[in-house]
Amino acid sequence: MKIKNICCIGAGYVGGPTMAVIAYNCPEYKITIVDSNKSRIDQWNGPVENLPIYEPGLKEIISAVRNKNLFFTNDIEESIDKAGIIFIAVNTPTKTKGEGKGMAADLTNIHKCTEMIARISTSDKIIVEKSTAPVGTGEKIKSVLKSINNKNKFQVISNPEFLAEGTAINDLMNPDRVLIGGDSSKDGEEAANIVANIYKEWIPEDKIILTNLWSSELSKLASNAFLAQRISSINSLSALCEKTGAKINQVSKSVGMDSRIGSKFLQSSVGFGGSCFKKDVLNLVYLSRYYNLPEVAEYWENVLKINEFQKERFAKKINQIFEKEKIQKSISILGWSFKKNTNDSRESASINITKYLLSNSFSVNIYDPKVSDTRILTDLGITDNKKPENLKISSSIRDSLSGSYGICVLTEWDEFKNYDFIRATSILSKPFLFIDGRDFINVDSLIKSYKHVMSLDT
């Protein structure tokens, strides 16, 4: 069976880059991306300097494939019906109401897509679950499709995405693995192979793993949980370093040099952010409770508790030092995105820390190279231009530092790593505090220039 017409529902951080990379590597496929957010589609069709997502290398790929074999359109129904393969890459946030509120994944978007596909399809299709969803979602999709449309045949494949923001293009071009989960029936195997054939255009076959639906869904949650767990482990030790005088980067290096442990994801930080770690670990906790495994649930829940502890510990440390020495509470926050090289700020530690500082009477001046002012205000829950007097957003590091008594670096942007914070003391009202929330700046060189120089372990 040769299917060359693909539709992707969801033009976000996953749908956009993933389909762009497939289009780039598979010129014989025609790919159409749709989204219920019309302005997002318009932005994808607009100037490449202003795509809805900032991701290194993305605009070059979009320039190469857009309107050749990759199309962004608001014509959702027609695009779905014409396609033989439909990727569902919609957001699956944590539920805010109903059963499982605050823990389980909200699958409303997936259900809406499934119902629409079932309702409007006039031909057989392969449905690819690209969104991260709990174990059993593929089965649910199958039963909804069957209950609404018994004329066409649908095969459901789980193909979770492992890209990380900021390195998405490289991750998609050279993934560690591609996971494809499907039914063990003949039709199921054929569908899994059709999806595998797309990836085989540029990915070595030994990196493509075929599993059943449930293993594929659980492996995605498990991978994110393991990564989050490593960060919480190192962050928990940074608190112990603060008490004992050990240095967290030395501990991290020593531990990571054990080849059984490995060095990646052992960078201590002010706490992990991003749209997925928290929601996916919560999802795992919910699933464990649902299957009556309270010990398993509690184990993973602690990964999140440590993350909250780390953010709170950091914010309190800043407040305490200003209060102790009765210094005017005015600080510059450098970095709003949850990591460098993305304009995404979902669950960024900067949000919690800034909220804490604002509520403790600090004047805060924020600068980020890529996150928009509107996004920062939305993250802080500030609407209708009701920006409080003690909050400023600047368009350069220099402006953000002007008049401050302290500098708090929260994202590891290269622009901050290379900045001359010694010369910057002349812009500050007083060089009272320098605090590095990413343990990536040579703070020792600043000791003579600031009254207090701190990191995660001091």
Active site residues: 276
Q: Bridge partners of 409?
A: 334, 436
Of residues 6, 21, 157, 231, which one binds ligand UGA by CB under 6 A? Answer: 231
Pick 231 or 377: Cβ nearer ligand UGA = 231
Chain center to CA of 152? 35
Q: How many CB atoms are closer than 10 A to CB 97? A: 8
Task: Check if the beta carbon of residue 84 is closer than 8 Å to that of residue 117.
Answer: no
Residues 42-81: x/- map of binding to ligand NAD (CB under 6 A)? ----------------------------------------
Q: Bridge partners of 210?
A: 180
The C-alpha atoms of residue 214 and residue 211 are separated, in whole angstroms, by 8
Selected range binding ligand NAD among 85-93, 286-294, 305-313, 405-413, rule: CB under 6 A: 85-93
Our finding on whether 439 is near ligand NAD (CB under 6 A) is no
Q: Please give the full DSSP string across 172-237, using - where no structure is assigned.
A: HHS-S-EEEEE-SSHHHHHHHHHHHHHHHTTS-GGGEEEEEHHHHHHHHHHHHHHHHHHHHHHHHH
Of residues 55, 106, 129, 161, which one binds ligand NAD by CB under 6 A? Answer: 161
Name residues contacting ligand NAD, limited to 288-347 (CB under 6 A).
none
- Going by C-alpha positions, the residue among 241, 355, 228, 227 that lies closest to residue 304 is 228
Task: List CB contacts of 413: < 8 A, sequence separation 6 or more.
Answer: 334, 335, 337, 340, 341, 368, 369
Phi first, then psi: give them for residue 352, nearest 5 degrees. Answer: -60, -45
Our finding on whether 94 is near ligand NAD (CB under 6 A) is no
Of residues 137, 238, 275, 354, which one binds ligand NAD by CB under 6 A? Answer: 275
Pick 132 or 394: Cβ nearer ligand NAD = 132
Q: How many CB atoms are closer than 10 A to CB 94? A: 18
Pick 111 or 317: Cβ nearer ligand NAD = 111
Task: Check if the beta carbon of residue 265 is closer than 8 Å to that of residue 85.
Answer: no
Of residues 79, 121, 131, 132, which one binds ligand UGA by CB under 6 A? Answer: 132
Our finding on whether 277 is near ligand NAD (CB under 6 A) is no
Our finding on whether 40 is near ligand NAD (CB under 6 A) is yes
Name residues contacting ligand UGA, limited to 267-296 (CB under 6 A).
267, 269, 272-274, 276-277
Shortest separation between residue 41's beta carbon and ligand NAD, angstroms: 9
Task: Check if the beta carbon of residue 180 is closer than 8 Å to that of residue 211.
Answer: yes
The C-alpha atoms of residue 195 and residue 197 are separated, in whole angstroms, by 5
Shortest separation between residue 267's beta carbon and ligand UGA, angstroms: 3
Our finding on whether 132 is near ligand NAD (CB under 6 A) is yes
Name residues contacting ligand UGA, limited to 198-227 (CB under 6 A).
224, 227
Shortest separation between residue 185's beta carbon and ligand UGA, angstroms: 29
Binding site for ligand NAD (CB under 6 A): 9-15, 35-37, 40, 89-92, 109, 112-113, 131-132, 161, 163, 165, 275-276
Binding site for ligand UGA (CB under 6 A): 132, 161-165, 224, 227, 231, 265-267, 269, 272-274, 276-277, 338-339
